[in-house]
Amino acid sequence: MATWQVGPFDNDDAVEWCGALESRAPDQRMDLVHDSLEAAVLAGRTLAPQNAARAIAAAATVLQSLTGIPPSESAYAPRFLLGRRDVRVAPSLRDLAIRALDAVLADGSMWRLQWAEDIEEEEALRVIQELRITLTSVKP
């Protein structure tokens, strides 16, 4: 996975995921978000880094749907969803997003191991932790 920043949409896997989200019919976008988050929860610490990147993008999309504000300055963030109701966030989806981020952040997770020797490890962790905290504080 090519990564150029530490934000939720700053890597090839997240960009590919957003492209898939945009290309889906509006009534099928919710399924992709849900399935990406659920896959992360089910995989737990064995979550592959590319699927972790997709889950992070999905969680950030949930946050954007809740607040109406893109959680990233990235040109690849799903701004095409702003003002739309394609991803309707019920409390269960928000909770699934939080649990997916817990899987990403778990000690020994493959995503964390990927960053373990990187100079930006602390910043990458901080970005995902802030995303999780914000999701926790926003009510659907």
Q: Which domain holds residue 43?
A: 12-135
Domain membership of residue 6 (yes or no) is no
Domain membership of residue 59 (yes or no) is yes
Buried b (16+ CB within 10 A) or exposed e, 67-94: eeebbbebebbbeebeeeebbebeeebb
Q: What's the number of domains the chain is made of?
A: 1
Domain membership of residue 3 (yes or no) is no
23-79 pLDDT, tens digit each? 999 999 999 999 999 999 999 989 999 999 999 999 999 999 999 998 888 888 898
Higher pLDDT, 94 or 108: 94
Query: Which pLDDT does position 3 carry in this prediction?
Result: 61
Residue 109 and residue 52 in contact, taking contact as beta carbons nearer than 8 Å: yes
Domain membership of residue 1 (yes or no) is no
Q: Does the structure show a pLDDT above 60 at 4?
A: no
Q: How much is the mean pLDDT over the chain?
A: 90
Domain membership of residue 2 (yes or no) is no
Q: Which residues contact 17 (CB under 8 A, 6 or more apart)?
A: 32, 36, 53, 54, 57, 58
Domain membership of residue 7 (yes or no) is no
Domain membership of residue 76 (yes or no) is yes
Q: Does the structure show a pLDDT above 60 at 1?
A: no
